[in-house]
A and B are shown apart, each in its own frame.
Chain A
Amino acid sequence: MPDILEVENLQVRLFDRTGPVLAVRGVSLSVGRGEVVALVGESGCGKSVTALSLLRLLPRDAEVSGSIRVDGHNVLDLSPAQIRTIRGGDVAMVFQEPMTSLNPAFSVGNQIAEVLRLHQGLRGAEASARALELMRMVGIGDAEKRLRSFPHELSGGMRQRVMIAMALAGEPKLLILDEPTTALDVTTQAQILDIVRDLRARTGMAILLITHDLGVVADIADRVVVMYAGAKVEEADVYDLFQAPRHPYSAGLLGALPGSALAQEQAGRPRLAEIPGMVPMLRAPLDSCAFAARCQSATDECRAQAPLLEQVGPGAGHAVACFHPEPATTVSV
């Protein structure tokens, strides 16, 4: 059986008012059945664009190439009708902004039942009963009353629970969570993550978690993919990445994590947050390492050609795109 999600050499070109933007540059990644993969990077690194392209939700003028296989079917080749059976069915998605992602004009029960009618063929009372069940699953108290509530009557955390219930309604094999906790306060973030962890244990569905917050990743993911400026710079088992990040960018991300062992270890070094600059927006292909401008260990080589992704140790399946990877020493925890 193929992996639930196999992405190969994904390239996405978007167009803004001033011209094309290379949002995703040759990203490959896979999510096994029941696996939790985290896609990590700063805002603007292309991780959300990657997520949207998986369900062909990008603007009409976006140019997407490469291959995206969901359960073996190439998403880019499917007819509109076929892609609709995958959207909300095999693959469900939860977005970053719970305040605006629900339709203000319809009750939450209506919006959940819509998925049940579409993908489960449930009608009327059956659909309501199942919607109630789903709302209870995601920890919404007083679900009978909430079923008739409108989005504006709910808190951000409650709305995100509704979004998750809506995603679960299609009984997906893969759940894509695009920054599900970014817009929420810390306590609510923890609750939402607990729900996700619990659901994963109960349903065995695979999860692709998109986040800029490595703190979230450590708790929940099996494997981590780090993106920078539209490209994958490192991929590793979550344990390996936290123990020994090989890309300076990943190391910087971890170093910026307050209270982490690495942060203490690196106390003498400048944290990434203090390195001036932002993720560059690329309008043309790059013939250097995209991170070179912000990198402490960058050399002329880094500025002359782009590093390719290569397998490195210590763990299996650990790959990094860097000419001068960080040493593989294990940090004592």
Chain B
Amino acid sequence: MTVYVVRRLGVSVFTLVVASMLVFLGVRAVPGNPAIALTGNADLSPGAIAAIERQYGLNEPLPVQYIDWLRQIVTGHLGSSPVTGLSITSELAGAFPITLELTILAMLIGIVLGVPAGIIAAVRRGKAADYAGSAVALFGLSIPSFWFGILLILIFAVKLHVLPASSYVSFLTSPASNLSHMIMPAFVLGTGVAAVLMRQMRSAMLEALRADYVRTARAKGLPELRVVLKHALRNSLVTVATVIGLQIGVLLSGVAVTEDVFGLSGVGNLTINAVFQRDYPTIQAVALITAAAVIVINFAMDFLYAYLSPRVRVEGDAQ
């Protein structure tokens, strides 16, 4: 397992380095003078531009600029937004907990709804439960999250007045109020996750249930529940863990739009505002942090995969 994990760690670090280069070069790709891009101010005097070029080291060769930029980020100096003048680090510190809470709640809802639904559908293949579960999953997969969010607001906030439509209250201030604000956005995202997980789980379970080792487990006299939940599920989880990585990008994109719909000032909203204000340093910081988060989550999935699959755990054989 160590061999495998170390190798995946190497791959993750490599991916992170390449991703950071792309993020760095992205801002340099903005048409026009990078000094203007970095400050968002198009009416700078030549003297002011020269001053900014000195400040950001824009006259240095690109590799040197990249290393400097990386060093600042690693030490937590993300700079300040040229638009708002606020420290990007503190802006992110305010937005990040909201996004994190939303993502975690959505994952929890997705797992709690999706995994059992997928198992049940596979076990009851071709029966009513399978058709119902698969149909709901297909709806969940097809429904635009932002529209679903708007529908929920229409029903629960506008018509029934049972839940608040928008804004955020910290969990530390008032857990109950926090959850009442988060339940709708988390549910919107969670159902999307559940739909994907349900379909993956179902097909992985169908494959596992056909396997010879499942027949062996039945021939041993094990109760069907144990055959399904021990012998088939364990091997299905290996398959599901490998495909989750492909879905993280979709989930995080959904988080951004859900924040927008529900007026949550998380990282997604911060990013959208930054785009329209041409706040390049903030976009750069968010892009790098998001890419890093995805890479870390994927590494965690590799770790889980290695843990679940003895072949990888024992021999470090990934293929």
In the bound complex, CA of A55 to CA of B238 (Å)? 30
In the bound complex, CA of A103 to CA of B220 (Å)? 13
Selecting from B4-12, B176-184, B240-248, B305-313, the interface stretch reads B305-313
Q: Is A115 an interface residue (CB 8 A)?
A: yes
Q: Is B46 an interface residue (CB 8 A)?
A: no
Asked whether A115 and B220 contact (CB < 8 A) given A101-B213, A103-B213, A152-B311, the answer is yes
Q: Which residue on chain A has the smallest CB distance to residue B218?
A: A57
In the bound complex, CA of A313 to CA of B124 (Å)? 52
A residues within 8 A CB of B231? 103, 105-106
List CB contacts (< 8 Å) of B10-49 with chain A.
none
In the bound complex, CA of A55 to CA of B215 (Å)? 11
Selecting from B82-90, B221-229, B261-269, B288-296, the interface stretch reads B221-229
Question: Which secondary structure characterizes the binding site on chain B?
Answer: helix
In the complex, are the beta carbons of B218 and A103 less than 8 A apart? Answer: no
List CB contacts (< 8 Å) of B196-228 with chain A.
211-213, 215-224
In the complex, are the beta carbons of A95 and B215 less than 8 A apart? Answer: yes
Selecting from A5-13, A81-89, A123-131, A197-205, the interface stretch reads A81-89
Nearest CB on A from B107, distance (A): 24
A residues within 8 A CB of B211? 100
Q: Which residue on chain B has the smallest CB distance to residue A83?
A: B221
Q: Which residue on chain B has the smallest CB distance to residue A110?
A: B230
Q: Is B234 an interface residue (CB 8 A)?
A: yes
Q: Which residue on chain A has the smallest CB distance to residue B235?
A: A105
Nearest CB on B from A134, distance (A): 14
Asked whether A150 and B220 contact (CB < 8 A) given A101-B213, A103-B231, the answer is no
Q: Is A315 an interface residue (CB 8 A)?
A: no
Q: Quick one: which of B216, B224, B308 contacts A103, CB cutoff 8 A?
A: B216
Interface residues as binary, A37-77 with B (CB distance below 8 Å gives 1, 0 otherwise): 00000000000000000010100000000000000000000
Question: Which secondary structure characterizes the binding site on chain A?
Answer: mixed
In the complex, are the beta carbons of A89 and B221 less than 8 A apart? Answer: yes
B residues within 8 A CB of A107? 310
In the complex, are the beta carbons of B215 and A101 less than 8 A apart? Answer: yes
Nearest CB on A from B206, distance (A): 13
B residues within 8 A CB of A153? 314
A residues within 8 A CB of B224? 80
In the complex, are the beta carbons of A57 and B215 less than 8 A apart? Answer: yes
Most chain A Cβ neighbours within 10 Å, of B211, B221, B310 = B221
Asked whether A84 and B310 contact (CB < 8 A) given A100-B211, A103-B235, the answer is no
A residues within 8 A CB of B309? 104-105
Closest 10 CB pairs of A and B: A88-B221, A87-B221, A88-B220, A100-B212, A150-B310, A103-B213, A105-B234, A84-B221, A101-B212, A93-B219
Residues of B within 8 A of A (CB): 211-213, 215-224, 231, 234-235, 238, 308-311, 314-315
Residues of A within 8 A of B (CB): 55, 57, 80, 84-89, 92-93, 95, 97, 100-107, 114-115, 118-119, 150, 152-153, 163, 166, 170
Starting from the known contacts A84-B221, A100-B212, 15 additional A-B residue pairs (CB-CB under 8 Å) come to A87-B219, A87-B221, A95-B212, A97-B212, A100-B211, A103-B234, A105-B234, A106-B231, A106-B234, A106-B310, A107-B310, A114-B220, A118-B221, A152-B315, A166-B220
